[in-house]
Structure 1
Amino acid sequence: MEKLIFRFDEKKLAGSYSPENKKVLMYKKWTKLIPDDISRIGQPLADSIRRMALPIPARVLDFLTISLSVTAADTFVLRKNADDGWCRVIHLDLPVSDVKFWLSQKELLEKTLNFLSGDIWKFTFIEESYDFKINTSPRKNLKKIPIKAHDCVCLFSGGLDSAIGAIDLLAEGKDPLLVSHGYKGDKSHQMRIKSSLDNFFGGSIGHLILNAHPVTAKSGCRDREITMRTRSLSFLAFGLLGVSAVQAFSTPFGSKDSLAIEKDPSQASKRMKLYVPENGFISINPPLTRRRIGSHSTRTTHPQFLIGIQELFDKAGFSCEIENPCAFKTKGEMMQLCRRPKLLETILKETVSCSHWKRSRQQCGSCLPCLIRRCSINSYGHTTFDATYSYPDISHAFMKFEVNEGKKDDIASVLEFLQLKGQKAQLLRRIRMSGRLPEKDIPKYFDLVCRQIAELEKFFRDHTDLARYLPPEEDKIDS
């Protein structure tokens, strides 16, 4: 087990801790007085909260603190050091304002995170007030972040799905606050897409860019884990922060009371939507092979995870409802049904789908998200609008990986998954293996997966020399 101890004041991290314990300072700017054995996270967030100059409820800040502690652990604790090389046992000792409430939700929180990342999580809470003021005007040298009366919040990653989600909301006449996690490299794409949205819709769309900014301690091991299975937790926390800021600006009720639903159940109907646009196939992410199960496939927007977070939100009294508007659409269908296709074609090259792009600042073209993207654009019918890829030739990439490296890559996994076309029982089994889904939705997910298989197969037939690895075209779904 690895333990991480979080505090808001570096003085409270002083003392003799065992080598297994990592010390993390939260929300505070680095100074030379901070010891080299202390890692840090959340300093830019403290500035952003000050710059909003709105009374954010303490329990919302608690959820933000919890999400940051998980992000820090997911970054600083290496999977290769786990007994099985994957599943880590992580104990987080962190401060919150409402210890009693979070202790009552500890089991739900740990269970939800276990599903998300495949790790075993343990929490210890201590009571501590936040050491940055949130109800006063920001410092003169920090420009105020404008928040207005938006009618919803939409996560905005710079990916194709989130761009389509934002376009559709704006085309419907909604006024979303776009919330981004400003990772290095992602921010420039987000800003360029947002600028295109501004120009097309004729106004400055609200955009809140936040950054967790984990910084490894100067002393000791400085390696960082790259799998980052929990990245969507902090993204949802940022979305909740955006919702709370809009509510604080818009309504006296929302600005003064963090327990709206808990104290007045009638307020449940006034919950603000937090949209999480993600195509349904990637959302459930069914295992492509029998060995690719559990958290080895990402679960960032899986319904089971989102349902668990929504339950936490409801129990905390947050007037916020998480919704994936694309839950039963393929990415290709999202493109085909986009309400402003010309705008979509304009921004397509700016969107990023690749799971590996940060390594070379170019989308690889051969990972699963890239393959789903490419088959979707092929289904849309305008491949000339697409980005450039490190491996534009899928056939070459497949042979290089398979023959020269002996590597079972995503291309091979997709080809293996396509062999299940027509095998209803096997496909249903894979869908259920992805995680717990509402039973009433299983037929919809089955139809979704069949449509995704058709999009993938068409792409492989249209743009590769790998037809010999595909199932016969005449196969039909059995009864």
Structure 2
Amino acid sequence: MKQHLIECGVSAASCEEAIAMNVHGPGKNVNLRIDYISRTMLSNLPDVLIDLLEVAAYVYCADQRLVRGSEQLSKFGENWRRSLRFSIPVRELEVWHDPEVQYALIDTLGFLSDDSYAFDFRQTETPVQPKELYFQDLIDPANEHDRVALFSGGVDSFAGAVTDLVAKGQSLTLVGHYSSTKVRSVQEGLIADLKRKGFDRHLSYVPVWVSNEGVQAREFTQRTRSFLFACLGFVVAEMSGKDGFSFYENGVVSINLPLAGDVVGGRATRTTHPKVLRGFEDLFSLLVERRIQIRTPLQWLTKKEVTEKIAAAGMADLLSQTVSCTRPRKWTESQKHCGVCSQCIDRRFGILAAGLGEHEASDRYMLDLLLDDRSGRDDLRMALAYVSLFKKISATPKERFLVDFPEIVSAIGHFPGVPTSEAGDLLFALFQRHAKSVEEVILSAVREHSAALFRNDLPAASLLAACYNRGHIEIAPPSNYDADAKAFMDRLSTSVLEFAFDDDKKRVHFRGDLALEGANFKLIAALIAAFRTAKSRQTEVPYLPAPDLARCLGVSDQSMRQQLRRLREVLEPLNVSMGIPMDQDSFIQTKERAGYRINPQCREILIADIVGGVLSASTD
């Protein structure tokens, strides 16, 4: 793993192994600028959120400067992950030294980008740079809108915006991040089109420019872009007096299963993964000491269904003005989609599946999805991997979904208000619908181009020709399919969660080689006495009120809830290892206004009955 030291707020690095980054002053090499904010909104911005903006800008820009492994899929390996240590000056040092804040920051960024993070915060030197430094185009007055939402200019963000504007009759403040003027022009063009359609008074746009200055970006995966984007949305929402903001992205992309076996970890993006968004919520809530919510109204929709919402809102004529490609350097005036990256492939499948191909000519892509030659580099492999993945999903029965696609498990339990068992069913149905739409696009194209396929007139390395030759994408079923399916179903029948409490070593053990200790142990220890007493007396297990539980742990209510969330996350592997459908109440039950208790359906057993090695899950 490559190790990097990033020294922030300085004009020069202290050693050859470090890089220097600065958002202001003589050594400035990071741009951070937010336009079209009112003076009233700016007055509502506390110093800790200026700190957050700077932290996010440093993380994002360092991500671009510090290269990973080769861009060839087959060569990703140990050099993919990086160890990043940041030294950052902040105004509110006590807040950033809070262990809960540091945990939320490090844990969420680590899962998001598949890197290792460490932060050394220090008190910023006086005189402190004024917050007006980042807000150069102040406006007055400003419209007060119903919601704040993130706006990239792609299909999903446009669909979410027009749905809220048209179908729901809401007014929006759209926050757009750009590091290229080409991206900003796309966003501004769509905003202008919407205003011309009569939404001028219901819409405002806040463009945010964050980029490296005078330094060439070397890494283009940009896994931390969503952290920066979310921080920008949160800051604007906070200045607007809102309790959160909206992130428009469909559920298939949000989970984003890896397309191929060597696309692992951060190589398969987790930019809007439910676990990442809950981590953002926790961090933001800790910073302002009240609950912040990130809304994802498109979570249970496929790309096809999201695209259909644009037509339903009467905006199909603007579909071709949206841009999904992440390679703006390749864009031309007439072609802003490379047709090769996963975003372009996913977009085109969605548009064709929605029957809206007539609203976007295929020549707006540098490479046609189905008909053009993809023999260069990994162009064909990426497209075939996409089709192969959803072909496999289509053939997967519900009882094997978690077994064959274990990456799904990390998302289960992170959908607010949705029980884990229900979330699993919803995700299975979601991916099945998307797989069906991919199949329909391929079959429709085969019918349309049957004569050319029969005569071999299409390039052999075109996606349609490769799919027509089934040998390219046939996936053999596992030889032990029946045995695995039976074993999985047998495990599902084991509905009782068993645990053993070790007072001496201060651990709680579970079947499935998992143990809790540290802060997790302390939380369970605060609840175990009431559980045991009720069991021995055969009475109802009482709930411990939230303030009382927080008092027992010696932490705030907010910290106690964060700890409970982390405990539930630690238990997530039992979904697969034990085949026990885990929701948030499987072990620790929550009841509004009553408090918390160990689920009465759980069974405490002797430590000697837990056989095998145990994985430690400490939070200290």
Aligned equivalents of 1:328, 1:49: Cα separation in 2: 35
Q: Pick from 124, 128, 150 the counterpart of residue 155 of structure 1.
A: 150
User: Which secondary structure does the structure 1 equivalent of 2:20 belong to?
Assistant: strand
Mapping of residues 88-167 of structure 1, within 5 Å: 88-103=82-97, 104=99, 105-128=101-124, 131-134=128-131, 142=137, 144=139, 147-167=142-162
Shift of 1:336: 2.3
Distance (Å, rounded) in 1 between the aligned partners of 2:220 and 2:40: 31
Q: Percent identity?
A: 23
- Aligned partners of 1:395, 1:53: CA distance in 2, in Å? 51
SS of the residue corresponding to residue 213 of structure 2 reads coil
Matches of 2:326 and 2:160 in 1, distance apart?
20
Whole-Å separation in 2 of the counterparts to 1:389 and 1:156: 22
1:442 aligns with 2:424: yes
Per-residue deviation, 1:391:
0.9
The code of the aligned residue for 2:208 comes to L
In 1: Cα distance, 2:165 partner to 2:14 partner: 52
Q: Distance in 1 between matches of 2:127 and 2:373?
A: 51
Query: Which residue of 189, 192, 195 corresponds with 2:189?
Result: 192
1:52 CA drift (Å): 5.8
Q: CA deviation at 1:148?
A: 3.1
Q: How far does residue 293 in structure 1 lie from its aligned partner after superposition?
A: 2.3
Gap change, CA 1:77 and 1:92, over 3 Å in 2: same
Residue type at the aligned position of 1:127: Q
* Structure 2, unpaired ranges of 5+: 71-75, 414-419, 446-463, 476-484, 490-620
Name the SS of the counterpart of 2:85 in structure 1.
strand
Superposition CA RMSD, Å: 3.0
Instruction: Provide Cα deviations, 1:193-244, integer angstroms capped at 9, x if missing partner.
Output: 1111112234241110011122245xxxx45211111111111111012112
> 1:74–1:228: 8 Å Cα contact kept in structure 2?
yes
Decide whether the 8 Å contact of 2:247 with 2:294 is kept in 1. yes
Separation in 2 of the partners of 1:168 and 1:101?
A: 38
The residue number in structure 1 matching 2:246 is: 275
Aligned pair 1:321/2:293, yes or no? yes
Taking structure 1 as reference, are residues 393 and 437 closer, same or farther at Cα in structure 2, changes over 3 Å only?
closer
What is the Cα deviation at residue 338 of structure 1? 4.3
Worse overlay, 310-319 or 189-198: 310-319
Q: CA–CA distance in 2 between the matches of 1:42 and 1:355?
A: 20
Match of 2:19 in 1: 22
Partner of 1:312 in structure 2? 283
Q: Partner of 2:260 in structure 1?
A: 289
CA distance in 1, matches of 2:211, 2:140: 19
**Counterpart selection for 2:81 from 56, 73, 87:** 87
Give the corresponding residue for 1:415: 387
Partners of 1:415 and 1:336 in 2: how far apart? 21
> Which residue, out of 323, 347, 359, partners 2:318?
347
Kept in 2, the 8 Å contact 1:118–1:295? The answer is yes
Q: Conserved in 1, the CA contact under 8 Å of 2:31 and 2:213?
A: no
- Is 2:201 the partner of 1:230? no
Q: Which amino acid aligns with 1:291?
A: D
Query: Which residue of structure 2 lines up, in the alignment, with residue 260 of structure 1?
Result: none
Q: How has the CA–CA distance of structure 1 residues 329 and 278 changed in structure 2, closer, same or farther, with 3 Å as cutoff?
A: same
Structure 1 pair 378/163, CA: closer, same or farther in 2 (3 Å)? Answer: same
Letter in 1 for 2:350: S
**2:444 is equivalent to residue 462 of structure 1:** yes
Q: Which letter does structure 2 place at the counterpart of 1:85? A: N
Cα distance in 2 for partners of 1:160, 1:471 equals: 31
Aligned partners of 1:347, 1:148: CA distance in 2, in Å?
A: 25
1:169 to 164, 173, 176: 164
The 2-side partners of 1:164 and 1:87 are apart by 34
Offset of residue 174 of structure 1: 1.2
Q: Distance in 2 between matches of 1:164 and 1:312?
A: 28
Q: CA, structure 1 residues 406+382, in 2 after alignment: closer, same or farther (shift >3 Å)?
A: closer
The yes-or-no answer on 1:433 pairing with 2:430 is: no
What displacement does 1:348 show? 0.6
1:335 partner letter: T
- TM-fit CA distance, 1:427: 3.8
2:54 is equivalent to residue 58 of structure 1: no
Report the more deviating stretch, 293-302 or 373-382: 373-382
Moved more, 74-83 or 235-244: 74-83
Whether the 8 Å CA contact 2:223–2:271 is kept in 1: the answer is yes
Matches within 5 A, 1:248-263: none
Moved more, 274-283 or 312-321: 312-321
RCO higher in 1 or 2 (8 Å CA, sep ≥ 6)? 1
Q: Secondary structure at the match of 1:92?
A: strand
State the 1:187 CA deviation: 0.7
Equivalent residue for 2:4, pick from 2, 5, 9: 2
Residues 372, 456 of structure 1: 8 Å contact kept: no
Deviation of residue 43 (structure 1)? 4.2
Distance in 2 between the 1:406 and 1:385 partners?
Answer: 29
Going from structure 1 to structure 2, the CA distance change for 1:213 and 1:138 (only over 3 Å counts) comes to: closer
Cα shift at 1:90: 0.7
Deviations along 1:410-436, one digit per CA (max 9) or x if unpaired, are 212113213312223554345431534
Q: Read off the aligned partner of 2:351 and give its amino acid letter.
A: I
Point out the structure with max Rg over C-alpha: 2
- Partner of 1:274, secondary structure, is strand
Aligned pairs, number: 427
Amino acid at match of 1:25: N
Query: 1:376 Cα shift?
Result: 1.5
Match of 2:175 in 1: 179
State the distance in 1 between where 2:28 and 2:218 align: 12
Secondary structure, aligned partner of 2:190: helix
**TM-score of the superposition, structure 2-length normalised?**
0.63
- Normalising by structure 1, report the TM-score: 0.81
Give the partner amino acid of 2:212: P
Task: Assess if the C-alpha contact under 8 Å between 1:108 and 1:312 holds in 2.
Answer: yes
Q: Separation in 2 of the partners of 1:108 and 1:62?
A: 16
Q: Tell me if structure 2 keeps the 8 A contact 1:286–1:430.
A: no
1:76 aligns with 2:65: yes
Q: 1:302 aligns with which of 273, 285, 293?
A: 273
- Matched residue of 1:419: which SS? helix
| Structure 2 match to 1:264 | none
Matched to 2:238, the amino acid is S
